[in-house]
Amino acid sequence: MKTATPSPASLLSFYPSRCSTLERSEIRHMAKRRLTRRQSWRIEKIQQERQARAQRREAHVETLLEDEHLGPEQEGRVVASYGASVDVEDPAGGLHRCHLRQHLGTPVCGDHVAWQVGSRGNGVVVAIRSRRSALIREMPDGGERPIAANLDRVGVVIATRPTTPMGLIDRYLVAAEHLGIHPFLVLNKIDLLEPGELAELEESLAVYSRIGYELIPASTVTAHGLDALRAALGGHTSVLVGQSGVGKSSLINCLIPSVEARTAALSEATGKGMHTTTTARLYRLPGDGSLIDSPGVREFALGHIPAAEVGPAFIEFRPFLGHCRFRDCAHRDEPGCALRGAVDSDAIDPRRLASYHRIVDSLAGGEPGQR
């Protein structure tokens, strides 16, 4: 199956770290020709200097923090993270640029944190509260990095054009379920449909509503469905994910009309430029609820999960799992397969079982771009 799911390598390219790019080019050069002793010495020296600079920076921040008279501990939420510092929103909506205490770990957008205000107006994060859930990004080296925390809703955006293959919709749903988050679907750009086409499309997507996924037809052009979308997001911390071009940015602009202004206000309040690299941002929705967005969040894809965890992520399979004759049933041609039985009795849609097999096969094969 060929999908538009980006490979982990292309995911990384959203966050080019200047340092690692430099190191990579050094490594490439090293591979091309043997280094003279002088060159090796120079590289080592550069690395030592870099390390010393980083240590000095850290020590400087720590000294600043010690010198300052810090206020009492308060609760807040990370609304943007820049690596070495974060923007924390206090319960009254005030924004504070905060440094991080050493050995704190990395707070990410959506984290609930304890922080203290400093005498110079900025603050320091002293504790990260435990996370209810986290969106994890798989790195090409096999490592993992959280990019957003404490999400409770994932909206999978699909469109009338470009259409999203069912297999890819299932991958998004499975990825969300695997995080323990119940997703919903947004069918955007319904203004492009001829009369009667919507009913047809809804019928083909009814497989999802039958198993409990809400489907919200919407259009950013006619504003159709936006109230239903607001209701689905209300009171939650959500992300909108989906293929490129389905209209996620357009939907976010409709939901948060001041999204640009808000970004500018954030930058102004915290004294950082608009183009400061940030991994993600949390936007308050008018009313109640918040939306976390970033290019990385939008590229949300199914990570490399153990094959045994794929089945339960197909929610309608759950009552049948564990009831096959063979404990290691692959749900293909084995006799006494409870999932096949459920397909025969129309309790499971055969397309969903086929999707399940494609996902398990792609995980086993480890094809790049399919994970």
User: CB-wise, 158 or 329, nearer to ligand GDP?
Assistant: 158
User: CB-wise, 229 or 337, nearer to Zn ion?
Assistant: 337
Is the Cβ–Cβ distance between 161 and 189 less than 8 Å? yes
- Residue window 311-340: x/- pattern of binding to Zn ion, with contact defined by CB under 5 A: -------------x----x-x-----x-x-
Tell me which of Zn ion, ligand GDP, none is bound by residue 219, counting a contact when its beta carbon lies within the kind-specific cut-off of 5 to 8 angstroms: ligand GDP
CB of 199 to ligand GDP, least distance (A): 18
Tell me which of ligand GDP, Zn ion, none is bound by residue 337, counting a contact when its beta carbon lies within the kind-specific cut-off of 5 to 8 angstroms: Zn ion
Query: What CA dihedral angle connects 240, 220, 232 and 93, to 10 degrees?
Result: 70
User: CB-wise, 73 or 191, nearer to ligand GDP?
Assistant: 191
Tell me which of ligand GDP, Zn ion, none is bound by residue 324, counting a contact when its beta carbon lies within the kind-specific cut-off of 5 to 8 angstroms: Zn ion
Query: Could you tell me the two tokens for 72?
Result: 């009492």
CB of 319 to Zn ion, least distance (A): 13
User: CB-wise, 283 or 317, nearer to Zn ion?
Assistant: 317
User: Which own/partner pairs from 88-91 qualify as long-range (CB within 8 Å, at least 24 positions apart)?
Assistant: 88/113, 88/115, 88/123, 88/125, 89/282
Residues that bind ligand GDP (CB under 6 A): 188-189, 191-192, 219-221, 244-250
Strand extents, DSSP E, the chain: 73-81, 85-89, 95-100, 112-117, 123-128, 134-138, 144-149, 153-159, 183-188, 215-217, 237-241, 281-284, 290-293
Tell me which of ligand GDP, Zn ion, none is bound by residue 329, counting a contact when its beta carbon lies within the kind-specific cut-off of 5 to 8 angstroms: Zn ion
CB of 365 to Zn ion, least distance (A): 21
Tell me which of Zn ion, ligand GDP, none is bound by residue 250, counting a contact when its beta carbon lies within the kind-specific cut-off of 5 to 8 angstroms: ligand GDP
Pairing label, strands 112-117, 123-128: antiparallel
Closest to 219 in 3D by CA, of 252, 187, 256, 185:
187
CB of 144 to ligand GDP, least distance (A): 25
Query: Between the CA of residue 130 and those of 107, 114, 133, what are the distances in Å?
Result: 11, 11, 9
Closest to 242 in 3D by CA, of 152, 148, 163:
163
User: CB-wise, 249 or 276, nearer to ligand GDP?
Assistant: 249
Those residues whose C-beta lies under 8 Å from the C-beta of residue 198, and which sit 6 or more positions away, are 190, 217
Pairing label, strands 237-241, 281-284: unpaired
Closest to 90 in 3D by CA, of 320, 241, 220, 269:
269
Rounded Cα distance between 282 and 285, Å, is 9
Closest to 243 in 3D by CA, of 312, 178, 186:
186
User: CB-wise, 158 or 282, nearer to ligand GDP?
Assistant: 158
CB of 79 to ligand GDP, least distance (A): 21
Those residues whose C-beta lies under 8 Å from the C-beta of residue 312, and which sit 6 or more positions away, are 177, 318, 321
- Residue window 270-309: x/- pattern of binding to Zn ion, with contact defined by CB under 5 A: ----------------------------------------
Contacts (CB under 5 A) with Zn ion, residues 336-365: 337, 339
User: CB-wise, 224 or 351, nearer to ligand GDP?
Assistant: 224
Cis-peptide, bond into residue 91, ω within 30° of zero? no
User: CB-wise, 70 or 360, nearer to Zn ion?
Assistant: 360
User: CB-wise, 126 or 228, nearer to ligand GDP?
Assistant: 228
CB of 201 to ligand GDP, least distance (A): 14
Is the Cβ–Cβ distance between 315 and 308 less than 8 Å? no
Tell me which of ligand GDP, Zn ion, none is bound by residue 241, counting a contact when its beta carbon lies within the kind-specific cut-off of 5 to 8 angstroms: none
CB of 249 to ligand GDP, least distance (A): 3
Tell me which of Zn ion, ligand GDP, none is bound by residue 245, counting a contact when its beta carbon lies within the kind-specific cut-off of 5 to 8 angstroms: ligand GDP
Q: Where does this chain bind Zn ion (CB under 5 A)?
A: 324, 329, 331, 337, 339
